[in-house]
Every structure is written in C-alpha cells, then in structure tokens.
A and B are shown apart, each in its own frame.
Chain A
Amino acid sequence: MKIKIHIFFLLLICLEIHITVAQQTTTIIGKGNLQKVNVTSSSTSINGQRTLTSIGFLPNYSAASRFLSQATFGSTYTEIQNVANQGIERWLDTQLAMPNSFRTQTYVQNLHQSMVDSLNIKNGVNTYTLNNVGVSNWHFDAAWFQGCMTAPDQLRWRVAFALSEILVTSRISAFDGNPYALASYYDVLMDNAFGNYRTLLDKITYHPAMGSYLTFLNNHATDLAKQTYPDENYAREIMQLFTIGLYELNLDGSEKKDANGHLIPTYDNDDIENLAKVFTGLSWGDVTYLGASPKNTWSYTLRMKFFGLDSSDAKKNTWKTNPRIVDGHERGSKTFLGSTVDPTASRTAMQGEADIQDALNIIFNHPNVGPFISRRLIQRLVTSNPSPAFIQRVATVFNNNGSGVRGDLKAVIRAILLDPEARNCCGDDTETFGKLREPFVRYMNLIKGLNLIATGGIYRNSMTRVYDQTSQRPLSSPSVFNFYSPDYIPNGPLKDAGKVGPEFQLLSSQTLTGYFNALNAWLINDDPIDYSVLFSGETYKPNQEPKFNTVSDYVLARNDKLPQLLDKYNLVLANGHLSTETLNTISQAIKGMPYSEDANGVPNTTEAFRRVRLAIYLIMTSPDYLINK
C-alpha cells in the first residue's frame, strides 16, 4: 500500500514522501535515510534535500555512536557528542582530509633504538647496535596499539585494518619475527587507505612482505635447461582475492550467468600460467642479483628491485670466465583476461618491468574490481549482506568518483559510510542487517569505550591475549584467505535465508569462551593490556601499563542508578541497541551483587567496582552488542 504524507518543514519546502508502510514505526525522518522513501522538493535548495535524505541533519547520540562503530575502532562519550554536534558528513570529511599521522615502522625503529641505547647505558658500553639487538613481532603490535590510541585520524586506522583483511599478508610466514616487515607493509595500507586502488596495487605488488608471502620475490623466467617455471602463486591470488574473484560480476556484485545459467569464470589456468610469467624478475631492493638472499632485517622495508637478467651465476662465482646469464624476467607476449601484455613480443628482458605495469592496468580495469572491492569493504565496515543496490552505488563510485577517476578509495569509503543503507538505523531490513563484530574490534571497542589512558602518553601493549584467546590481531591471519571468507555461510537461520556471515567462521566453542575469558581478564581482573619488557632487567614502567578507570561510575552502581550506568555503556559500546529485555537481564544480575554505602552515602569501592565491571562484561557478551546493526 502506498500512502502520501505531506510534511512541512520550517524551511518551508513542501515535500512529498511515498512510503510503503508495513507497520508503524517511530523513525524520525532525517536522522538517517529511510529506504523506500522517495523525496522530492519544490525548491531547488540542496539543503532541503539533504535535511531529509541524510547527512545534513544532525544525528542523535545513538546514531552517532552507531556511525562511529562502523568508521572507527570505537568511541568515547566525548567523540559521540562531537559527531552529534558537527554531523556525520562533516566529521567524515575532516577525517578523510587528515594525512596519515603515524608511522608504525618509525615507532618500531624508535623502540628498537631505545633498547640499544638502554643496553649500552646499562652495561656501560657502546657495542650494542640495531644490528645486534634483536626485535620481535610484538614491537609491531606495540607500535600498532600506540598509533591507534593516539592518532587523530581514526577513520584511516579502521579502513587500513579492513584493507589488511583483504590484501592479506601475515606474520605466519617467512617473516615471522620481523616487526619491520609487518610495520612497513602496514604503513603502505595506512598511507594509501584514502588513495587510489591502482596505486595500492602497485605498492603491494612491489612490497617485499607481499613478495615473500606470496612467493614471487626472486621469481624467475621459465628455464627449460633446469625445467623450472614461474611461480603461479601471486598471479592467482592477486586476481582471486585482491581484485576480481573467480566469476564475472554485475555492477551490483551478483554473479553473471551464461546462456545455460552457469557462472562465467574470470580466468582459467592458462591465464594464471601467463600472468605468472609477468611477475618474474623481482628481488630484494638492496641486492645485486636475482635469486639473492635478503641483506638484513630492513630488506623487508625496501621496494623490490627488478632484474631483467639473472646474473646470479656470475655474481656468485666471480672466478667463472663464462658464467651462465639467462633471462630473469620472462620475455614474450602474455595473454590473460582477454588482454595481451607486450603483444608484439618486442620487449627485452630488461624492459620487462613495463609488463608488470601493463598487467596491473589490465587487472585494475577489469569490470569486476569495483563490485568486488566494494562488497568486501562494505562487509568489513558495515554489514555482512549488503543489498545489490548498495554494492552497485558504491561500485559506481569506485568506477568513477564523479571526476572521472577510477579506484578513488576516499570516494569509495565516503560512499559506503554515507550510503542510505549504512545510515538507516531503524529501517525495514533489520532481519539480516549488520555483522558479527570481529573479536579484535571488540577488544578495541572496550579499550576505546572505557577510555583507557596512559598518563605519559605511551602504551606498551603486545596484544597477546586478544590473539591467544580469539585468534585475531592485525597481520596475524592464518593464510592469505584472511581470518574468514567473505562468503562464509554459517549453519542455521543465515544459511536458510541464503545469507553469509563471514565473521562466524572464526566463532567456535573455543574462540567463544576465549573471548569471554579474555574479557574476564581485561575487565574483572583489571588487566587490559599486555605489558612486555624490552630487554631483560628493564625497569618496570607502570604508567605504560594503564588500567581502566571506572571510579566515576561507582555512584551509578546503586540499584536505583543502575539504569543510568547501563544507558551509558549501552550508548558507548552498543550504539544504544541493547533491548529492554537485555537491559533487564543484566540489571537483574547486577542487583544480585552486594552493594553498600558508608554513612555519607559513598559506595563501597570494592563492591561498586565489581558491579560496574560485571555490568560492562555482560553488555560485551550480549548478542545485542555482538551483532552490530
């Protein structure tokens, strides 16, 4: 049934709204977009449109919190106020304009240097150097946490994490134990999070962490004498996982079908074998021949170098008068995805780097990239099952940002977070909207939501517990397939409805209790971060191991004040989405706990602490929090 509603605003613009009414809702029009509502205005004023369509209107606190849960790792009450006061669009544009403010590699190096300096001072020597003092993975984790806790460009941090789950490399690899490799790669994602996807493809293709992870570093042209052929790993995964996927897609992300109703593969093994020949001739940035070993720890931070010829025999065996010099890069035309690199086979091996750029262009310009990447980014930030229309709107922006530029991630991120489907918080599609919050994001939600502050501004967090208990942490994926597949379908109601739930792939009885028990340590045992020593005998620095401060909540621990306590954390942690029933259950449990006051009405701190902490624990374990709608 369609009815017409006439609404008169103070702006004196007459608007006609066509709305399909299924049931009465109390939605405030303008707070976020309503779906299935067509808005027309008798005025040409853009403000009138914007008031109703979305973004000009100031969100209420819940809507602000919900937006921040998609755009950041979580927020404090102050940040929610901030967004509510300035509006989502302004906040977003401010964030998108901020430069990357933190370099994890620099921070790792500073940590490393401080170890060197301290050891020299402590032992009264000057023999310790960056080269002989070891570093480990956790220095990257400490750098990551430091940056995420202090950097103002919170949107960039959230998007870079999403990208790290699409363009996957991991410490579970040959560079386990090298925080410089992790940091350098992460900085590429941070630097390019709002840049162009084509540039990002170039940067990761030439990054030695990727080269090592997907084994095309030192990849060699076909050598018939040795019966060896180019490594196919990167050729396959750059297409399957980073750009186009296995089947041809429509702009809205749905799979195309041929005349017989079958899916249409984007490539076959011949394409892989051809593209593998393209990615030959790349080696470490600081070596002198193809096939060489990395020089040192920092080799992992230098852009890979191209070697058209393989002169390893000459370089390794300088005594040889007639060393074997062969092509390092494979010459000749290579056809894949219906296009051909170097079609006239005119390039020399030394000119082979042009092959790589041509191939990246062919891949980048494949029509699948827009819908493929858009769907993945929407899934990481907003919802597991975006509608085809949502994907199409974002993919359209990927294909053209409005100024004729393809692959502009800034425009794509903006389109995702301002899309009606992302902003509509109370619409009709609540049955399948949302996502299971990622375990690592839950951890950061808690850290941010409880406003953890190190008084000296330095956090020493190796983030071991969150990984040990939930199997998630930046750059710790078990394989290039990320912690979960974007197409994972859990059993039960989602499966019956034909919907995916990627994050459920990481949810087992083990990780479920792991998360509960980690919360117990963070909140109940008051141990929110994992402090590690930089070198044995280091003086403990308690201000680098901050605890949550919930003292100001103690006055809300009394039975009659509990609703205020729960409202506060409902807003900060759960976007105000805890149902009355959930709130009642939690309230009931907390009321069963001891509570007393002294003669002046001051709560007993031990009892109040326990009430507040358990209330937050129960919020963080409730399905209403865990599913972010």
Chain B
Amino acid sequence: MNRRDFIRQVGCGAMGSTTLLSTLTSLGAVNGAMSGSASKLRTSATDDYKALVCVLYSGGIDSFNMLIPLGTNAGGDNGFNDYKNVRSDIAIQTNTSLLPLNNPRCSGFRGQPCNYGSYGVHPSMTGVQNLFNNGKLSFMANIGTLIEPVMTKAEYQSGLKKLPLGIYSHSDQIMQWQTSVPQSRDALGFGGRLADLLHASNSMEDISMNISLGGKNNFQRGKTVAEYSISNNIDANNVGITALPSWWSNSGIMTDLRNNAIDSLVSKTYANLLHKTYSSTAKSSIDSFEVFKNALIKVPSMTTTFGTSSIEKDLQAVAKVMSVRNDLGAKRQIFFVNYGGWDMHDNLVNGLTQRLPNISNALKSFYDATAELGIAENVTTFTISDFARTITSNGLGSDHAWGGNTMVMGGAVNGGRIFGRFPRMDVSSSNTQNISFRGNFIPSISTDEMYAELALWYGVSPYDLCYALPNLRNFYSYSPNTYPVGFMNFNGTTISNEDKPEGCLSY
C-alpha cells in the first residue's frame, strides 16, 4: 500500500491531514536517526525540511569566462594559455587576476579525464571563491542538454545519436534546461514533476510547493502543480487584491462583496477552454493569497545583508519565505529565480565585470542567510542557463554554443570540487569535444544526471526517477551509494523507497 492509498483509506476528514502528515514525518525522522549522523537527527527531529533553489541565468551566460583554467606550464597543464589564445579579445588577459580555487580535483566524467588540473574564477567572484574554498559550492564542468550520451564529434555527426531540438536556439535551450526533455517542446518542468511526486509532503493545499520569483516558467510546471508567483517585495500588504479605499463607508463589507463577486466569477463553469484555463489560474492564485499574507507577517528580521541587484533581492525574498515555511505548511519547497541579461553578443568583457559580482554576492549572502536560519544543510541551490557561448570571439562578445559550467551550493553539497570534463580550450579538429570552428562543446554531463542527484537528495525514490526524469535511463540507473555525478553529500540522507503512483513519463 502506498501513502496515497493509505490517506484515501483513512480519510482526511477523520484524522486531519496535518496530523497524519506529522506522524509520517516523524516516522521518517526515526528512520533517519537510525541510519544517520547526529546532525541528521537534529535537523530531522526539528525540521525535516528540504528546498531546492533554481537560479536561471537567462540569455546564455558565458560560463567559460566564469570558470577558467589557470595552468601556464607549456607541455603540462597549460590551460590558461590555451584559454587566452582561443578567446583572444574576450579572454581575461592575466591569470594572476583570476581567483584561484583550492585543489579542485576536477573529476572527468564517463571514463574521460578532465583536461586541466588547476582553475580559478572570474576576478569579480570573490563570494563564489570563498564558498568553493570553504566546501559549500562545487562546479559542474561542461554540462548541458542531452537525450543520450554523445562522446565525440564523430558520434555527433553520425546521425545515430538522438540530439536535442534547436541546439543553439535560446527558446529551445532555455526550455530544455528547465524540462530536461530535449526531444520535446511541451514537456513539464523538472521542478514541476518533483512537486507532482512530493506535494503531499506539504500540509496546505492552497500553497504551491513551487514558488517563483521569476513569474511563470517551465521549470516549475508540473502535471498537477503550478507555480505560485511572488514579487521580491516581501510585505504582507503587497499580496493579493487591494481592498477598496478605506474612506468608503463600510469599506470592509464592500471589499468582501467585491471579493465574493470576483470569486464567484472565476468559480463558474465555463465551456470555452481559454475561459477555463484563465479561471482556474485565477482561482488558485486567489486561494493562496490569504495564507501567504498571514505567513509573511511573521517573517523575522535577519542580520545577513543583501545587495540591491535583482538576483540579490530575489534570493533575499527566498530566504524570507523559507523563514516562515512552517506557517506555509511546507516540508518541501522549490524556488525559481531568473536573473537575465547574459546574451552578450556584444560588450561581453564589461558586461561580465558588471554582472558576475551580483551573482557571486547573491550566492554568498543567500548561503549565509540559510546558515542564519539554521537550514544551510537543508537548502541546495543550483544555477542553470540556456547554454554556454562560443569560446571564440565575434569581435565584441560571443555567440550561442552548447555545454557550459554551472554551480551547485549548499550545506549538503560535496563542495570545493569540479565535476565533469572541462573541455580543452582549442577549436582544432583534434579536439573531439568541439563541433564548430567557433568552439561549441558537446556536453559531458547531462542535465538529467545533475537533476537525478538533486531528486534523490530531495526525497524522490529511485522508483520514481523515471517520472522525474524521463530520459535518465539513457545515463544512469540507481544502485545504493552510486550517484549520478557525486556532488551531493548523501551521508545521513535516507534514500526514499516510496513508489508513487505517477508511473513513468515518456516523450
């Protein structure tokens, strides 16, 4: 009997869903305690909470100017010189200005070695360097959209491998990073599918597991779960439909009258599908406002400070929502943040210098805020983008490419490492990872593998991975203590063995 049947048989009316869920949660906590460490016992007993934070850099970030090889040994690890030579006028010109990463042990992937040993980050990313060197952040090198592994240019050109739709197109790649289903243009999002599987963990039906600071998005769209959008102005008065003016007589009663009418208009049965779609979206939003409003009143003041860029404000808002997770009945949450402006065909060097510090500061502040809230171990943040950019220059910037570098951050991350196979920084025909004279790399790690690792940590059982990630079987099948990439620290995490009734998805 799975949990859904159990709930159905007991009946929520008799027992109360909150009570039931608390019972199940404490059972989970006991399991954790028996297999895990002391710290796991502490967090579980007080707070069996897990959150994923997806930060999208929309536009296609030039991540080969974010994570950069550092070596200058001709004949040995000569990464920086290779890099500088191929990137010409868009390269960071001196390796001494890069911020070095301590012993990153770049892992290689799928039996293929990493091409360089020593790395640094962009000179403006002090926060990221700090997080990395303190073991709270890792990189994934040359990760991207794949349907199945493609190892070489010859395989890419063979016509025998399934390839993602629209490899260099913004609209396709930004979508595929969010769905992890590169063969489809109407797939559900990875975050949405996670929420489909696990939304019963949360006790309030009206509050979505998926909260967006970036409006509507593909990532958080599930079969049954839709995102709930908020602004980064976390103020209870800023939520919901404005009351009628206070100077109206009986303003409160009039507002109720109006709200009832609004509610009744969106609750009617409509025949037209556009009407239906609109009214159900409106109804679910309206139902959420009150709960959200009441929760936000309880946001505590925090000492961690954030800057004023939109990514910093957004992540600060995420931390504030997390601080009232209990008032929202949330044991599991998935956040979505979008920080755009990376399509730097032009003005790349200055553009990165202006915007990368915001990313770096935002991640550092956000990590500190989760630590302040006592949930650093419970929150995992990862970054995605449409694609990386050509390693060669167009004279002012770089163009659309494919595999790139991303970050994953949090207390449960196996930090201070580079996972994956950083490509060789040249566009010669001997570089089998490269498929264009402009320098476009076949990804070594697939988005599926990164997401599978996050899913297992988040509480998806191996049985349900085929719902969360329809193509995963092309890359990975679960066996205990063998994880898809290795960037999460699973010590003390119990892998769920609950088989949800969703079944597998295929596209």
Q: A479-B59, A581-B268 are known contacts. Are A491 and B221 too (CB-CB below 8 A)?
A: yes
- At the interface, yes or no: B346 with Cβ under 8 Å from chain A? yes
Say whether B274 contacts A494, CB under 8 Å: yes
A510-B215 in contact (CB<8A): yes
Residue in A384, A431, A489, A513 whose Cβ sees the most chain B Cβ within 10 Å = A513
Do A431 and B226 touch across chains, with their CB atoms under 8 A apart?
A: no
Chain B window 490-507, contacts with chain A (Cβ cutoff 8 Å), 1 for yes, 0 for no: 000000000000000000
Contact A618 B258 (CB under 8 A): yes
Majority-rule SS of B interface residues: loop
Which B residues are CB-close (under 8 A) to A621? 262, 265
Given A511-B215, A618-B258: A481 and B171 interface contact (C-beta under 8 Å): yes
Once A228-B392, A229-B394 are accepted as A-B contacts, the answer to whether A508 and B272 lie under 8 Å apart by CB is no
Q: Is the CB of A493 within 8 A of B277?
A: yes
| Least CB separation from A212: chain B residue | B346
Contact B274 A384 (CB under 8 A): yes
Report whether A512 and B394 are in contact in the complex, using a CB–CB cutoff of 8 Å.
Answer: no
Does A238 reach chain B (CB closer than 8 Å)?
A: no
Q: Is A582 an interface residue (CB 8 A)?
A: yes
Q: Check A505/B216 contact, CB under 8 A, given A524-B245, A585-B261.
A: yes
With A223-B395, A509-B228, A589-B257 known to touch, is A436 a contact of B88 (CB < 8 Å)?
no
A511 to B281, CA, bound (A): 11
Instruction: Check A618–B242 contact: CB distance below 8 A.
Output: no
Q: A272 within 8 Å of B by Cβ? A: yes
- Complexed CA–CA distance, A107 and B260 (Å): 45
Give the residues in chain A near B280, CB-CB below 8 Å.
492-493
> Which stretch from A36-44, A143-151, A316-324, A495-503 is at the chain B interface?
A495-503
Q: How many of B's residues come within 8 Å of A, CB to CB? A: 80
A490 within 8 A of B: yes
Contact B346 A495, beta carbon cutoff 8 Å: no
Give the docked Cα–Cα distance between A527 and B393 (Å): 50
A residues 581-628 touching B (CB-CB < 8 Å): 581-582, 585-586, 588-589, 592-594, 610, 614, 617-618, 621-624, 626-627
**Once the chains are docked, how many angstroms separate the CA of A507 from the CA of B212?**
13
Is B373 an interface residue when CB atoms closer than 8 A count as contact?
A: no
Annotate A514-555 by CB proximity to B: 1 below 8 A, 0 otherwise: 001100100011000000000000000000000000000000
Task: Give B226's nearest chain A residue, CB to CB.
Answer: A491
Chain B contacts for A614, CB-based, 8 A: 244, 254, 258
Closest to B427 in A: A227
CB neighbours of B227 from chain A (8 A): 508
Partner of B242 from the list A273, A520, A622, A627 (CB cut-off 8 Å) is A520
Q: Is the CB of B244 within 8 A of A431?
A: no
B483 within 8 A of A: no
Answer whether A431 and B392 are a contact pair too, CB < 8 Å, given A479-B340, A481-B171, A525-B245: no
Least distance between B311 CB and chain A CB atoms (Å): 15
Q: Of B12-20, B64-72, B282-290, which stretch is located at the interface?
A: B282-290
The residue from A479, A509, A594, A627 contacting B285, defined by CB atoms under 8 A apart: A509
Task: Fill in one digit per residue for B287-312: 1 if any A CB lies within 8 Å of its CB, else 0.
Answer: 01100000000000000000000000
The reply to whether the CB of B466 lies closer than 8 angstroms to some CB of chain A is no
Contact of B272 among A218, A586, A627 (CB under 8 A): A627
User: Contact: B242 with A246, CB < 8 Å?
Assistant: no
The size class of the interface chain A forms with chain B is 35 or more
Contacts of B261 in A (CB 8 A): 585-586, 588-589, 618
Which residue of chain A lies nearest to B270 when distances are taken between CB atoms in the complex? A623
In the complex, what residues of B have CB within 8 A of residue A511's CB?
A: 215, 229
Residue of A at shortest CB range from B239? Answer: A513
Asked whether B345 lies within 8 Å of A233 as measured between CB atoms, the reply is yes
Complex contacts, A432 vs chain B, CB 8 Å: 272-274
How far apart are B384's CB and chain A's nearest CB, in angstroms?
16
- Chain A residues lying within 8 Å of B86, measured Cβ to Cβ, are 227
Contact between chains at B265 and A512 (CB < 8 Å): no
Which parts of A66-114 form the interface with B (CB within 8 Å)?
A: none
User: B268 contacts A618, CB within 8 Å?
Assistant: no
CB proximity to A under 8 Å, residues B159-178? 165-172
User: Using Cβ atoms and an 8 Å threshold, which residues of chain B touch A174?
Assistant: 346-347
Pick from B226, B248, B268: contact of A610, CB below 8 A.
Answer: B248
How far does the alpha carbon of A513 sit from the alpha carbon of B262 in the complex, in Å?
12
Does chain A have a CB within 8 A of B74?
Answer: no
Residues of B within 8 A of A494 (CB): 273-274, 276-277
Inter-chain CA distance A384–B249, complex, in Å, is: 43
For A495, the closest partner residue in chain B by CB is B186
Q: What chain A residues lie within 8 Å of B275 (beta carbons)?
A: 623-624, 627
B313 at interface (Cβ–Cβ under 8 A)?
no
B284 vs chain A, min Cβ distance (A): 8
Q: In residues 414-459 of chain A, which contact B (Cβ within 8 Å)?
A: 430-436
Cα distance, A92 to B266, chains bound together (Å): 35
What's the minimum C-beta distance from B145 to chain A, rounded to whole angstroms? 15
Question: Is A229 a contact partner of B59 (Cβ separation < 8 A)?
Answer: no
Q: How far is the CA of A492 from the CA of B242 in the complex (A)?
A: 28
In the complex, are the beta carbons of A582 and B268 less than 8 A apart? Answer: yes
How does the 8 Å CB contact mask read for B381-400 relative to A, with 1 for contact and 0 for none?
00000000010111111011
A276 contacts across to B, CB distance below 8 A: 399
Chain B residues near A520: list those with CB within 8 A.
241-242, 244
Task: Report whether B268 and A513 are in contact in the complex, using a CB–CB cutoff of 8 Å.
Answer: no
Counting chain A CB atoms within 10 Å of each CB, which of B171, B275, B393 scores highest? Answer: B275
- From A628, which residue of chain B is reached at the shortest CB distance? B274
Chain B residues with CB under 8 Å of A629's CB are: 272
- Encoded as 1 (CB less than 8 Å from any A CB) or 0, chain B from 246 to 266 comes to 001110001001101110111
Q: Which residues of B contact A626 (CB under 8 A)?
A: 278
Contact A622 B265 (CB under 8 A): yes
Is A226 in contact with chain B by the CB < 8 A criterion? yes
B265 near A226 (CB under 8 angstroms)?
Answer: no
A332 within 8 A of B: no
Residues in B neighbouring A508, C-beta threshold 8 A: 212, 215-216, 227, 229, 285
Q: Answer yes or no: A230 CB below 8 A from chain B CBs.
A: yes
Residues of B within 8 Å of A505, CB to CB, are: 216
Q: Cβ of B279 < 8 Å from any Cβ of A?
A: yes
Q: Which residues of B contact A479 (CB under 8 A)?
A: 58-59, 170, 340, 343
CB pair B88 A226 closer than 8 Å: yes
Docked Cα-Cα span, A499 to B395, in Å, equals 43
* Binary interface encoding of chain A residues 296-327 relative to chain B, with 1 for a CB under 8 A from any of its CBs, else 0: 00000000000000000000000000000000
Assess A490 versus B281: contact at CB under 8 Å? Given A228-B393, A430-B271. Answer: yes
Assembly CA distance A226 to B59 (angstroms) = 26
**Taking the complex as formed, is B436 at the interface, i.e. its CB lies under 8 A from any CB of chain A?**
yes
Which B residues lie within 8 Å of A35 (CB)? none
Contact of A623 among B88, B254, B266, B437 (CB under 8 A): B266
Does B371 reach chain A (CB closer than 8 Å)?
A: no
Asked if B438 lies at the interface with its beta carbon under 8 angstroms from chain A, I say: yes
Most buried by A among B166, B172, B216, B438: B216
A360 at the interface (CB under 8 A from B): no
Most A CB contacts (10 A, CB to CB) among B240, B245, B277, B281 go to B277
Name the CB-closest residue of B to A607: B249
A618 touches B265 (CB 8 A): yes
Check B392 against A589 for contact (C-beta < 8 Å): no
Contact (Cβ within 8 A) A585 B394:
no
Q: Known A491-B226, A581-B268; judge A507-B278 contact (CB<8 A).
A: yes
Please, how many angstroms separate the alpha-carbon atoms of A622 and B278 in the complex? 10
**A291, closest chain B residue (CB):** B395
Q: How far is A490 from B227 in the complex, measured between Cα atoms in Å?
A: 12
What 3 pairs between A and B have smallest CB-CB spacing?
Answer: A508-B229, A509-B285, A215-B345
The 20 listed contacts between A and B (C-beta, < 8 Å) are A174-B347, A215-B397, A226-B89, A229-B399, A231-B346, A232-B400, A240-B169, A431-B273, A509-B229, A513-B240, A513-B241, A517-B241, A524-B244, A524-B245, A588-B261, A593-B257, A614-B244, A621-B265, A623-B268, A627-B274
Q: In the complex, given contacts A232-B438, A491-B221, what are 19 additional A-B residue pairs having Cβ atoms less than 8 angstroms apart?
A: A228-B395, A232-B400, A246-B166, A269-B436, A273-B436, A432-B274, A436-B274, A490-B281, A493-B280, A504-B277, A508-B227, A510-B215, A516-B241, A585-B268, A610-B248, A614-B244, A618-B262, A623-B270, A627-B278
